[in-house]
Amino acid sequence: MLDKRGFDLWADGYDKDVEITDEKDTYPFAGYREILGSIYETVMKRPGSAVLDIGFGTGTLSAKLYENGCTIYGQDFSEKMIETASAKMPGAHLYQGDFSQGLVGPLRKQNYDFIVATYSLHHLNDEWKAAFLNELLDFLKEDGMILIGDVAFRTRAELNACREEAGDEWDEEEVYFVVDELKEIFPDLSFTPYSYCAGILSLTENRSEERPL
Ligand SMILES: C[S@@+](CC[C@H](N)C(=O)[O-])C[C@H]1O[C@@H](n2cnc3c(N)ncnc32)[C@H](O)[C@@H]1O
């Protein structure tokens, strides 16, 4: 699993690396551009939204939303990623912090129309993912939505088939979403696949029902 320092070192080459595997339509970034584009379209249906980006990286998604009138908040633990993203969106509220420890204090002071996380939450194991998503749901505005774009599969059998095909390329340290399993905790979770190995998961706060944790 890459740590803070690993992401600092990857920051300069990150956009290019992603572009190459997206264009080749291979694991892990097959579908990346389409996924970010679709999340962008969804958010822009509510102009001027307050958007929290978890693990914003070089700011590929949030900078575009920023340029188009959204107020951007974000948390990432890599100084170099923060530096790169801040240069693209000087007025954004970007904070350094490890999301395995939850949201940093300043980001807990408001609620958001959208909380987005693209290719970042696979750095948490399944138990921590569920706990963090539960925490994030409490920071949504009414009608707010969590949108996760990531390596994801409907079933564990689909994940295993992809692992087999990827061979040595498969990253054993990353923990990818298996939608059917996460649905046991979040029954309202919805999933749209964008490639054979990735898609968008969306979640809204269902205030009328207790979540079975
Ligand atoms: C693969 S990049 C994705 C960046 C961007 N969201 C995108 O879609 O291109 C993952 C990002 O999450 C950040 N990250 C990974 N684990 C983290 C953690 N535990 N706490 C905070 N940020 C983390 C990394 O620094 C990096 O910027």
Ligand 1 and 150: CB distance under 6 A: no
Which is nearest to 56 in space by CA: 106, 140, 119, 8?
A: 119
pLDDT average, residue stretch 141-147: 97
Residue 212 has pLDDT above 80, yes or no: no
> Tens of pLDDT along 58-87?
999 999 999 999 999 999 999 999 999 999
CA distance readout (Å), 104 to 38, 99, 193? 27, 8, 31
- 208 pLDDT tier (thresholds 50, 70, 90): very low
55 CA: nearest ligand 1 atom: 12
Q: How confident is the model at residue 192 (pLDDT cuts 50, 70, 90)?
A: very high
Out of 120, 123, 194, give the residue to mutate to test ligand 1, the one with the largest number of ligand atoms within 8 Å of its CB: 120
The pLDDT value recorded for residue 207 is: 52
Cβ atoms of 114 and 51 closer than 8 Å: yes
Q: Which residue has the higher pLDDT, 208 or 154?
A: 154
End-to-end CA distance of the chain: 27
CATH architecture, range 4-203: 3-Layer(aba) Sandwich (3.40)
Work out the percent of the chain whose per-residue pLDDT is above 90. Answer: 84
pLDDT in tens, 8-58: 887 888 888 888 878 888 999 999 999 999 999 999 999 999 999 999 999
pLDDT surpasses 60 at 209: no
